[in-house]
Chains A and B, each alone.
Chain A
Amino acid sequence: MSANLLPVLLLPLAGFLFALLLPRRAPELSRRFALAVSLVTFVVSLGLLARFDRTAPGEQFALDFSWIASPKIHFAISVNGVSLWLVLLSTLLTPICVLISWRSIRTRAKEFYAFLLLLEFGLIGVFLAQDLFLFYVFWEVSLVPMYFLIGIWGHERRIYAAVKFFIYTMAGSVLMLAAIVYLYNKAHTFSYAAILNQLSAGELRLDSQEQMLLFLGFFVAFAIKVPLFPLHTWLPDAHVEAPVAGSVMLASVMLKMGTYGILHYCLPLFPNAARQCSGWIATLAIVGIVYGALVAMVQPNMKKLVAYSSVSHLGFVVLGIFSFTQQGLDGAVYQMLNHGISTGALFVFVGLLYERRHSLEIADYGGVATAAPWLSTAFLVTALASIGLPTLNNFVGEFLVLQGAAIAHFTWAVWASTGVILSACYMLWLYQRVFYGVAGAEVKSRVFDLGPREWAAAIPLLVMMVWMGVYSQSFLPPVSKVTAQVLAQSEVNVPYRVGTRPRAEVARAR
């Protein structure tokens, strides 16, 4: 069975172009248009899921057009068991972002929704691209709309945050570009599959120093995006200053570009370097887990708290990847999706609170549970999911990651599990301070309960939290297929990958 990937990729782009033509004076029209486009895209992407062959490990629905003749650049896209979920995550969250911005975005609504659709296009492209050059193009294209989303519709220090976000990412990605070009000059192709083939056939040989530098070129770009401690400093700024939809897309999908990149490019292409670095990368990940959680605990600002919790959660993902075990990799991918759902939901609810009370300071709240019981319940479910309560989604991912880490190095698991404990501390304490206690006059009058549009945004996320927590079998099998393959590709000490003679020559010599 096959399906076409082009509609999923191009619908948001067409939506972006068309949204630019809509009249400036009719914001309502822009909102409805963006909602329609993003919903149609979501439905189309569900069609992909239906036709996806869950038993096959490789890339599916591949499309390949020649784009530029010299150097040979192809418009090559396909999905596998990991990128499919990430695409679905993007298409699910975009309509949700449209819904939650309905009231909060009042100025220049037309441009806002246009940029949101362009962002969706860039993000989906990153996950689909199978040509290194194309991947880089999408990687950078997704940067521009996010820059504008933060810069135009953000809070007070938005300009600082937007510029910092752009420069950080740019600095990382130019090094990745250098690595991509270097790889091209050696392999004479940008095609991901062809480079992998050349590697395994021994036609492309990288000596250990080359491999290490190329690995770092890619890894630093991804690590900035993840963000891995100590490259995370742009994230709290970007999150706090971004409008709600920006925060949601940033946390839920954009950070996954980094972890997906590590999984899809760093491990299979440079296995030796990745294995060599796994020690200190895992250490940084663990530092990030603990540091992120500790810093989250003392934040007076809700968005900042959630942002630092992201640093902590993403540490789990990186730790899982660099445990080089099946469980760890599965858990890392699952945790990517979980984080997308639960942290996305946290940002949604924080955004709804802000819309009502116009403050992000925890101290300005209290007693919201009496004023808005349904909002409180929804927030509680999300917070518990984020902590990793069994039967909710994060539990599955964190468990698998910890299991993988324990297999690799037991001490890693011990340190990482403190992150789980700390997450309970900061989340429950946040919940207590915001939702319990006595409601101030301001809270009572302002904070009303969820409206129908807000329910429409919240329900899919809540359903997913429970579904992914209770029945991971719906999601994990295709993921495992891919991660098993990645694990096999990243086997160490295969002669051709350390730059000695290729396998064919070795065989001949015998």
Chain B
Amino acid sequence: MPGDIVMTGFMSGDLVRFLPEMILTAMGTLLMVLDPVIGKRRPAAFGHLTIAALAAGIAGAAAAYSHGGLAFGGMLRVDAFATFFRVLVMGVGILTALASYGFLKRQQAEAGEFHALLLFSIAGQSMMAAANDLIVIFIGLEISSISSYVLAGYLRDDKRSNEAALKYFLLGSFATAFFLYGVAVVYGTTGTINLTTVHALLAVGGSAQGTLLGVAAGLMFVGLGFKVSAAPFQLWAPDVYQGAPTPVSAFLSAGPKAAAFAVFLRIFMTAFAPLGRAWEPLVWLSALASMTIGNFAALRQTNLKRMLGYSSIAHAGYVMVALTARSDTGVAAAMFYLAAYAFMNIGAFAVVGHISGRGERRQSIDDLAGLGQTQPLTAAMLAIFLLSLIGVPLTGGFFGKFYIFRAALESQLVWLTVLGLLNTAVAAYYYLRLLVAMYFRDPADGAGEVEPLTPSFRLALILPAVGTLALGMFPSWVLDFASKSAALLK
């Protein structure tokens, strides 16, 4: 945190620090109003407006950062860490919106509410990123989650989409309840919900309080573990990712997850940092279990979205490794990884959404057969995303893993590192299956069905690919900022 933070009573300063959320909410509401007006005539306009709102939101986040500090009596804390995640989730939003143009048109489901929900969800995540208070975190979490539940069931005529939404909603509310229990215990014990105050209390150290707060930390771990789909709370992920509309799956695997990790880091690295020794084994186990379960389950999948769902569990496991390291390097590594993961995973999901066709019928690995010949550009971009997910050098995914395992080794987590790295070799197998299908097999019958690329979709592919490669060749840009914010987090 910048040293010159002053608690100001000025409303204007507070409002600037809250600018991104305000922009997104205003635009979301506007889109709802505009829906009947421009809905049928120019459906693409919703996408344009969403992207414009998100770009404005990023500018707002930058403005907020230049006026960094506490807002609303310490409920928000706008620092480099918050800004990093704000920009990240809004970037995720832009990529999702780009990938949705063609998808929504294909499913004949273009409507303003999709984009409005997307904006609301991102507003919630952006709030989570900047929250410094357990209730604000909870509010952000609820805004983000409820919009996500609806988004998951957006294709309301599709049975799978309905199932996904219902599962996500039921299990998700359970998890949120756990989190709220944790908040209640914290408040009951300490009389405060402010993270900084909790940290100060714990640092002084009262044993009775410590035990109860440990219970609270456990409850919050359950709630957040669910949101990031870390084992043993990962069961919902494959079903939801498979059933939800593909751009929504892409969004869910990157945006809410990044925000939940932001909260995870913020709570566990600040408020509960003094209890670190107690929760480290918990996270250690969860990290290993997530990587192993995710990777081994993904080996057997034939449905692309389901496979990516399991793979996202494994990737959550890698980030948990960074968390287990309990160090600034670890936090920076986690941040970098989440950024890299957002690019590569949204890109991969975008391609799946593109080839799946109307009604999302074509989702199996076999449907990728011969894509290298029928659509070389799409195939090449997917190849880049897959190589990055495997962790081949010169891609963002590689540097992400490199930083994470470096942090783990620094904290003497040798076994976790070795097991994690072996896990990445296992993971290579199922990502390679996609490359095999695209390049080593000939197009199946009816492969001509894949739609030609539209300019917006081309952009939705090239942007994440450029991002993935840029993070792989010049990682310092992002990493320096992440390191700086990680160091300031305490």
Take A171-B422, A174-B421 as given contacts and tell me if A184 and B406 are in contact as well, using a CB distance cutoff of 8 Å: yes
Q: Which of under 10, 10 to 19, 20 to 34, or 35 or more describes the interface residues of B?
A: 20 to 34
**8 Å CB interface, A67-122 against B:** 68-71, 108
- Output the nearest chain B residue to A153 by Cβ-Cβ distance: B440
Q: Which residues of B contact A147 (CB under 8 A)?
A: 432, 435
Take A140-B393, A151-B436 as given contacts and tell me if A167 and B425 are in contact as well, using a CB distance cutoff of 8 Å: yes
Q: Which of under 10, 10 to 19, 20 to 34, or 35 or more describes the interface residues of A?
A: 20 to 34
Tell me if B280 counts as interface (CB < 8 A to partner A). Answer: no
Tell me if B479 counts as interface (CB < 8 A to partner A). Answer: yes
Tell me if B54 counts as interface (CB < 8 A to partner A). Answer: no
Q: Is the CB of A152 within 8 A of B394?
A: no
Take A163-B429, A174-B425 as given contacts and tell me if A181 and B418 are in contact as well, using a CB distance cutoff of 8 Å: no
Q: Is the CB of B424 within 8 A of A174?
A: yes
Q: Which residues of A contact B390 (CB under 8 A)?
A: 170
Q: Which residues of B contact A162 (CB under 8 A)?
A: 436, 440
Take A70-B479, A70-B480, A163-B429 as given contacts and tell me if A152 and B405 are in contact as well, using a CB distance cutoff of 8 Å: no
Q: Could you say which of A144, A163, A166, A185 contacts B409, with CB atoms under 8 Å apart?
A: A185
Q: Is the CB of B479 within 8 A of A159?
A: no
Tell me if B213 counts as interface (CB < 8 A to partner A). Answer: no
Q: Is the CB of A140 within 8 A of B402?
A: no
Query: Could you tell me the distance in whole angstroms from the C-beta of A168 to the nearest C-beta in chain B?
Result: 9
Q: Is the CB of A141 within 8 A of B402?
A: no
**8 Å CB interface, A179-206 against B:** 181-182, 184-185
Bound Cα distance from A177 to B398, whole angstroms: 11
Q: Could you say which of A68, A152, A167, A185 contacts B428, with CB atoms under 8 Å apart?
A: A167
Query: Could you tell me the distance in whole angstroms from the C-beta of B75 to the nearest C-beta in chain A?
Result: 33
Number of A-B contacts (CB under 8 A): 79
Tell me if A260 counts as interface (CB < 8 A to partner B). Answer: no
Q: Is the CB of B440 within 8 A of A177?
A: no
Q: Is the CB of B393 within 8 A of A137?
A: yes
Q: Which residues of B contact A170 (CB under 8 A)?
A: 390, 424-425, 428
Take A151-B440, A162-B440, A175-B421 as given contacts and tell me if A137 and B476 are in contact as well, using a CB distance cutoff of 8 Å: no
Q: Could you say which of A144, A158, A171, A174 contacts B440, with CB atoms under 8 Å apart?
A: A158
Query: Could you tell me the distance in whole angstroms from the C-beta of A385 to the nearest C-beta in chain B?
Result: 35
Q: Which residues of B contact A412 (CB under 8 A)?
A: none
Q: Which residues of B contact A177 (CB under 8 A)?
A: 402, 405, 421
B434-455 vs A, CB cutoff 8 Å, 1 = contact: the mask equals: 0110011000000000000000
Tell me if A488 counts as interface (CB < 8 A to partner B). Answer: no
Bound Cα distance from A61 to B87, whole angstroms: 44
**Residue from A71, A140, A174 having most chain B Cβ neighbours under 10 A:** A174
Q: Is the CB of A136 within 8 A of B393?
A: yes
- Output the nearest chain A residue to B373 by Cβ-Cβ distance: A108
Tell me if A324 counts as interface (CB < 8 A to partner B). Answer: no
Q: Is the CB of B440 within 8 A of A181?
A: no
Q: Which residues of A contact B435 (CB under 8 A)?
A: 147, 151
B413-429 vs A, CB cutoff 8 Å, 1 = contact: the mask equals: 01001100110110011
Q: Is the CB of B480 within 8 A of A185?
A: no
Tell me if A178 counts as interface (CB < 8 A to partner B). Answer: yes
Bound Cα distance from A147 to B392, whole angstroms: 13
Tell me if B475 counts as interface (CB < 8 A to partner A). Answer: yes
Take A167-B425, A181-B405 as given contacts and tell me if A70 and B393 are in contact as well, using a CB distance cutoff of 8 Å: no
Take A175-B418, A178-B409, A184-B406 as given contacts and tell me if A152 and B425 are in contact as well, using a CB distance cutoff of 8 Å: no
Q: Which residues of B contact A431 (CB under 8 A)?
A: none
Q: Which residues of A contact B440 (CB under 8 A)?
A: 151-152, 158-159, 162
Q: Which residues of B contact A71 (CB under 8 A)?
A: 406
Tell me if A322 counts as interface (CB < 8 A to partner B). Answer: no
**8 Å CB interface, B224-259 against A:** none
- Output the nearest chain B residue to A133 by Cβ-Cβ distance: B402
Bound Cα distance from A147 to B110, whole angstroms: 41
Classify the interface of chain A: helix, strand, loop or mixed.
helix
Query: Could you tell me the distance in whole angstroms from the C-beta of B420 to the nearest C-beta in chain A?
Result: 9
Bound Cα distance from A175 to B424, whole angstroms: 11
Bound Cα distance from A136 to B148, whole angstroms: 40
Q: Is the CB of B483 within 8 A of A148?
A: no
Tell me if B158 counts as interface (CB < 8 A to partner A). Answer: no
Bound Cα distance from A63 to B398, whole angstroms: 25
- Output the nearest chain A residue to B433 by Cβ-Cβ distance: A163
Q: Which residues of A contact B414 (CB under 8 A)?
A: 182
- Output the nearest chain B residue to A144 by Cβ-Cβ distance: B392
Q: Is the CB of A178 within 8 A of B393?
A: no
Take A68-B475, A151-B436, A175-B418 as given contacts and tell me if A181 and B402 are in contact as well, using a CB distance cutoff of 8 Å: yes
Take A136-B393, A152-B440, A167-B428 as given contacts and tell me if A178 and B476 are in contact as well, using a CB distance cutoff of 8 Å: no
Tell me if B387 counts as interface (CB < 8 A to partner A). Answer: yes
Q: Could you say which of B387, B429, B436, B480 contacts A69, with CB atoms under 8 Å apart?
A: B480
Q: Which residues of A contact B480 (CB under 8 A)?
A: 69-70
Q: Which residues of A contact B402 (CB under 8 A)?
A: 177, 181
Bound Cα distance from A140 to B64, whole angstroms: 41
Q: Is the CB of A163 within 8 A of B436?
A: yes
Query: Could you tell me the distance in whole angstroms from the C-beta of B476 to the nearest C-beta in chain A?
Result: 5
Q: Is the CB of B425 within 8 A of A171?
A: yes
Q: Which residues of A contact B394 (CB under 8 A)?
A: 137, 141
Take A166-B428, A177-B405 as given contacts and tell me if A141 and B393 are in contact as well, using a CB distance cutoff of 8 Å: yes
- Output the nearest chain B residue to A158 by Cβ-Cβ distance: B440
Q: Which residues of B contact A167 (CB under 8 A)?
A: 425, 428-429, 432
Query: Could you tell me the distance in whole angstroms from the C-beta of B312 to the nearest C-beta in chain A?
Result: 20
Bound Cα distance from A177 to B475, whole angstroms: 18
A131-151 vs B, CB cutoff 8 Å, 1 = contact: the mask equals: 000001100110110011001
Query: Could you tell me the distance in whole angstroms from the C-beta of A469 to the nearest C-beta in chain B?
Result: 39
Bound Cα distance from A313 to B409, whole angstroms: 38
23 A–B contacts from the bound complex (CB under 8 Å): A68-B476, A70-B476, A137-B393, A137-B394, A141-B393, A143-B392, A144-B392, A147-B435, A151-B435, A158-B440, A159-B440, A167-B429, A171-B422, A175-B418, A175-B422, A177-B405, A178-B405, A178-B418, A178-B421, A181-B402, A181-B405, A181-B417, A185-B406
Rank and list the top 6 A-B pairs by shortest CB-CB distance, nearest first: A174-B421, A137-B393, A171-B425, A151-B440, A140-B393, A170-B425
